[in-house]
Amino acid sequence: MIERPVRTLAVFPYYADNPWQETVHQGLVDRGDRVVGLADVSDVGSVRAQLGGFLPDSLHLGWSTPVTQTVPDVVESMRRVRVFLETVRELRRLGVRVVWTVHNVLSHELHHVVPEIALHQGLADEVDVVHVMNPRTAKVVRPLYSLPPASTRVLPHPSYPGVDVGGVADESPSSGRTPVRLLLVGEIRPYKGIVPFAQLVHAARSEGVDVTLEIRGRVGGGLAVSDLVSELSDLDGVSFVPGRVAEADLAPVLSGADALVVPYAAGLNSGVAVLAASAGRPLLVGPALRGSWSLEPTWQLPLWPARAGDETADHHGHEVSPRSGVAALRGAVARVGDEGPALRRAAREAARLTAPETLAHEYAELFLPTV
C-alpha cells in the first residue's frame, strides 16, 4: 500500500490561542497533514525560509489587520498591500493553492480604508477559493468589494466541543430564581457596543426589568481597562471582570448565564454566537447587526422592536431610541425566562449541526483537497 505523502498548509495570520483556527484545521492534523503558522508573507523567499526551504501545498489567509492596519502611514499601508498581493500571485504561479476566509467586512479598528478595500478586492480576484461562513457575506460586502460567485464556498463556523454546560432541559433557566442573567464574553473592543448596551441594561432595570449583565473578557482595540471600569462601575446590575477567560473557567462562567449577548455595532461572523449555541444558551442580537445577520428565531432573539408584518424590522442598521431599546430588551428577557427550555434545546441543535467532527472533512478538503 502506497502511503499518501504528508502535505503542508501554511496559515497567515496565525494566532496560537485562537480556537477557531485550531478547530477548522484539526481535520488536516487528524489525517496526518501539517499545519504551520507564518509570521510573514512579504515575499516568496520569506515563506520558503519559514518552511525549511520549501513552499506549502496550500496557504490559508485570514484577517487583514496585520497587512493594512499595523503601520501609521497610509502610503506604507498601500505599499504593503501591493507587496502582499504580488506574493500571493507569485505563490499561485508556483503551484500553491490559496484560500482566503472573509472574517469581517473590513478590519474592525480601521485606520486605512483605501488599502483595506484594495486588499479585500485583490484577494477576491486572486485566490483560488474565497471561504465565507455567513451566507449573506457577498451581499453585505458588495457596496465595498465583490466576491466571485464561482470560487466562493460557504462553510459555517464550527461549534465548540466541550462547552455545553448542561442544565435541566425541561426547566427554564430562570425558573425559581431572578433576575435573568445575561453574559457578554470575549475580547472587549470598541466595535462591540458594550458600554451602550450596559447603559441600556441600567435603564431597563430602572423601569423594572429584572435583568443583570456580566461582562468578561480581555480588553483590546485601543480601549483602556481603567476607562471601562469608570464607565461601567455606576451602572446598576452590571458587573465587569477584565481579563481573558481561561479555558478552565469557561464552563463555570457560561453556566451562570441564562443567555449571551452580541450588541455589536458591526459584525459579519461571531464566535460568541457559536459559543452560545455550543453551551446550550440563547443569544440576544443587537440592532446594528440587522443588515448582516440571518436570525435563527428558534434560539436567537432580536434586541430591536418588531414592526407589523416584519419580525426583524428593517435591515439598515438604524439606531433604536432608548425607549424602544428598553422595550425590546424587556421582551427578549421575558422570552428567555418563559421559553428557556425550548431556546436551550434549539441552541444545542444548532451546535450539533455544525459540530467540528461533522465539518472536519469539508474543511480539510477546502484547504488541501485529496482529489
The mean-pLDDT minimum among 89-103, 192-206, 264-278, 307-321 falls in 307-321
Is residue 313 scored above 80 in pLDDT? no
Instruction: Tell me if 259 sits within 8 A of 283, measured CB to CB.
Output: yes
Query: Residue 4 CB: number of other CB atoms within 10 A?
Result: 10
- Burial state string for 187-219 with b = 16 or more CB within 10 A and e = fewer than 16: ebbebbbbbebbbbbbbbbeeebebbbbbbbeb
Is residue 100 scored above 80 in pLDDT? yes
> For residue 170, what pLDDT band results from cuts at 50, 70 and 90?
very low
Instruction: Tell me if 332 sits within 8 A of 287, measured CB to CB.
Output: no
- Predicted pLDDT at 178: 83
- Give the CA dihedral 171, 176, 177, 183, nearest 10 degrees: 0
The mean-pLDDT minimum among 159-163, 285-289, 315-319 falls in 315-319
d(CA 218, CA 220): 6
Is residue 174 scored above 80 in pLDDT? no
The mean-pLDDT minimum among 59-73, 133-147, 159-173, 317-331 falls in 159-173
d(CA 276, CA 287): 18
The 8-class DSSP code of residue 310 comes to B
- Predicted pLDDT at 307: 54
pLDDT digits (tens, 9 = 90+) for 145-164: 999 999 999 999 999 987 87
CA 40 to chain centre: 23
Amino acid letter, residue 170: D
Average pLDDT score over residue span 200-215: 97
CA proximity to 254, closest of 222, 227, 283, 279? 279
In the chain, % of residues over pLDDT 70: 91
Find the distance separating the first CA and the last CA of the chain, reported in whole Å: 18
Instruction: Tell me if 58 sits within 8 A of 9, measured CB to CB.
Output: yes
Q: Which three cell numbers stand for residue 200?
A: 441600556
pLDDT digits (tens, 9 = 90+) for 11-31: 999 999 899 999 999 999 999
- Predicted pLDDT at 247: 85
Instruction: Tell me if 194 sits within 8 A of 263, measured CB to CB.
Output: yes
In the chain, % of residues over pLDDT 90: 83
Q: Mean pLDDT, the chain, as a whole number?
A: 91
Q: With H, G, I as helix, E, B as strand and everything else as coil, classify residue 25.
A: helix
Average pLDDT score over residue span 93-106: 97
Contacts of 89 (CB under 8 A, 6+ apart): 126
pLDDT digits (tens, 9 = 90+) for 109-144: 899 999 999 999 999 999 999 999 999 999 999 999
pTM above 0.85, yes or no: yes
d(CA 85, CA 267): 25
d(CA 92, CA 128): 8
- Predicted pLDDT at 17: 86
Collect contacts of 166-173 with beta carbons under 8 A, ≥24 apart: 166/255, 166/280, 167/255, 167/280, 167/344, 169/341, 169/344, 169/345, 170/341, 171/340, 171/341, 172/337, 172/338, 172/339, 172/340, 172/341, 173/258, 173/259, 173/281, 173/336, 173/337, 173/340, 173/344
Element housing 213 (H / E): strand 211-217
CA proximity to 42, closest of 71, 21, 63, 66? 66
